């Protein structure tokens, strides 16, 4: 005599899925729009389609096994299959709105079509090549030339911009706006300003994305001519987040002359191809040490790395990538960074100071093109 096995129902399976919380958001996956489909076969086997919030979600295994356990507990279910998919941009936006209680997202002003702020992401392949030093000196030089400048220190592991610029202030909050401290005429916001003491930042992708979005949208920058973003070395989550949040941001690649550094820098720069961003140029740092006795240049890190990176990126991107300048090794640059006085201000005639000022002038002279921008005017009807 055949035993009467109940056929599982759609609502019973969905009720079981409602007991599964997203491990990061801590809310039921059914409330978050993560359940894509539920299919129940005659033999009681159930196939559940699940949307992950992002590609390569590190919680995919946990979500998978929680769904299997929950659905298997429904009477009549013989087996469970889980098919993972990834949310579209629109679905992610909807989820974000749900999480904010229906409030629309604040916009990133620099990403708006009418924005005239030039945004530069300062990127490198390897750490320690002088990316932050270049960022703060260019920022201070541009501010000294009368431009309104902001810096976002998004280098989560090596956030050193506040020290190099000499800002020890904390940002203050006015209503929903964060007011950035400033030094030498440069407004600065750093991930280090939001962590206690010298604690390391152990945030993962979505947290970093959210922090960066806040830095760009909730910080009161005012009208900026230039915004520089100091990115962490390499081609990580932050670079992709920046590309999503400010698609018009251009990339400035910093490298040393060394072959190995140049290869990694080229890899970091070539992310621009995937993100459809423009590379404004390459800065070669630590390009030789002037001998203190005879002024002859000693190529401590070899030579030609900057040009090699520029040539490689020109080839990869199909657009001309210039070398914007070469900065020699200079004790005064390092001292300036340690003391919070950028060398372009404390010793503008030093070899490193002069080289950085030249690069700043090249960048400062550029205008953001108006082509493709909405001018906010409408044609009048002919009478
Ligand atoms: N041209 C230079 N001459 C002398 N010292 C330099 C030069 N460029 C950078 N330095 C020193 O090298 C060290 C590393 O520089 P910096 O912190 O700017 O690198 P970085 O690429 O931002 O590093 P990370 O990404 O790992 O934080 C600092 O102490 C800085 O003062």
- Which of 122, 125, 133, 284 to mutate for ligand 1's pocket (most ligand atoms within 8 Å of CB)? 133
Q: Which of 330, 334, 346 best tests ligand 1's pocket when mutated (most atoms within 8 Å of CB)? A: 334
The answer, yes or no, to whether any atom of ligand 1 lies below 6 A from the CB of 350, is: no
CA–CA separation, 25 and 272 (whole Å): 31
pLDDT for 238-256, tens place per residue? 778 888 889 889 999 999 8
Region at 319 (left for phi over 0; alpha for psi -120 to 50; beta for the rest): beta
- Domains of the chain listed by start with CATH number: 10-99 (3.30.300.130), 111-364 (3.40.50.300)
Q: Can you say whether residue 304 is alpha, beta or left, with left for phi > 0 and alpha for psi between -120 and 50 degrees?
A: left
Residue 254 alpha carbon, nearest atom of ligand 1: 21
Binding-site residue ranges for ATP:
125-132
Mean pLDDT of 201-230: 82
At residue 136, the pLDDT reads: 97
Tell me, in angstroms, the distance from the centre of ligand 1 to residue 205's CA. 26
Band of residue 317 on the pLDDT scale cut at 50, 70, 90: confident
Q: Locate all alpha helices (DSSP H) within 166-286, ordered by sequence.
A: 205-217, 237-245, 259-269, 271-275
How far apart are the CA of 14 and the centre of ligand 1, in A?
Answer: 55
Q: Which residues of 15-40 are buried (b: 16+ CB within 10 A; e: fewer)?
A: ebbeebebeebeeebeebebbeebeb
Nearest-atom index, ligand 1, CA of 331: 4
**How many angstroms does the Cα of residue 134 sit away from the middle of ligand 1?**
8
What is the complex's ipTM, to 2 decimals? 0.97
pLDDT of 144 over the 50 cut: yes
Q: Is the CB of 290 under 6 A from ligand 1?
A: no
Contacts 24+ apart (CB under 8 A), 189-197: 189/150, 189/151, 189/152, 189/153, 189/215, 189/219, 190/152, 190/153, 190/159, 190/161, 190/162, 191/153, 191/154, 191/155, 191/156, 191/159, 192/153, 192/159, 192/162, 193/162
Contact 190 CB / ligand 1 (< 6 Å): no
Q: Give 145-159 pLDDT, tens digit per residue.
A: 999 999 999 887 778
pLDDT digit string, tens, across residues 329-376? 999 999 999 999 999 999 999 999 999 999 999 997 766 544 333 344
Q: What value does the mean pLDDT of the chain take?
A: 83
Residues 22-31: tens digit of each pLDDT: 876 668 999 9
Backbone angles phi, psi at 82, to 5 degrees: -115, 125
- Tens-digit pLDDT profile for residues 255-284: 988 777 677 777 777 777 778 888 999 999
């Amino acid at each position: 005599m055949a035993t009467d096995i109940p056929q599982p129902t759609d609502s019973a399976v969905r009720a079981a899925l409602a007991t599964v919380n997203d491990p990061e958001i801590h809310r039921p996956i059914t409330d978050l729009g993560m359940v894509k489909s539920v299919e129940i076969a005659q033999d009681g086997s159930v196939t559940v389609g699940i949307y992950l919030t992002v590609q390569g979600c590190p919680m995919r295994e946990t979500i998978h096994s929680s769904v299997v356990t929950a659905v298997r507990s429904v009477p009549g279910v013989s087996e469970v299959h889980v098919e993972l998919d990834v949310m579209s941009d629109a679905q992610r936006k909807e989820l974000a709105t749900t999480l904010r209680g229906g409030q629309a997202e604040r916009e990133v002003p620099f990403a708006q079509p009418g924005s005239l702020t030039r945004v530069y992401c300062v990127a490198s392949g390897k750490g320690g090549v002088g990316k932050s030093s270049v960022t703060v000196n260019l920022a201070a030089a541009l501010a000294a030339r009368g431009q309104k400048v902001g810096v976002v220190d998004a280098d989560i592991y090596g956030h050193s911009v506040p020290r190099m610029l000499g800002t020890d202030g904390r940002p203050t909050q006015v209503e929903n706006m964060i007011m950035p401290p400033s030094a030498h005429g440069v407004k600065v916001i750093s991930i280090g300003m939001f962590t206690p003491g010298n604690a390391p930042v152990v945030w993962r992708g979505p947290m970093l994305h959210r922090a960066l979005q806040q830095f760009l949208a909730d910080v009161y920058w005012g009208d900026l001519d230039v915004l520089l973003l100091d990115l962490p070395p390499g081609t990580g989550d932050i670079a992709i987040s920046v590309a999503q949040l400010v698609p018009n941001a251009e990339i400035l690649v910093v490298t040393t002359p060394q072959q190995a550094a140049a290869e990694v820098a080229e890899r970091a720069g070539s992310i621009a191809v995937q993100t459809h961003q423009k590379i404004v140029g390459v800065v070669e740092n630590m390009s030789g040490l002037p001998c203190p006795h005879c002024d002859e240049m000693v190529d401590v890190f070899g030579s030609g790395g900057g040009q090699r990176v520029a040539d490689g990126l020109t080839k990869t991107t199909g657009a001309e990538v210039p070398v914007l300048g070469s900065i020699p090794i200079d004790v005064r640059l390092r001292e300036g960074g340690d003391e919070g006085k950028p060398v372009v201000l404390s010793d503008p005639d030093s070899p490193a100071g002069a080289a950085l000022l030249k690069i700043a002038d090249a960048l400062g002279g550029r205008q953001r093109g108006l082509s493709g921008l909405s001018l906010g005017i409408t044609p009048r009807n002919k009478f």
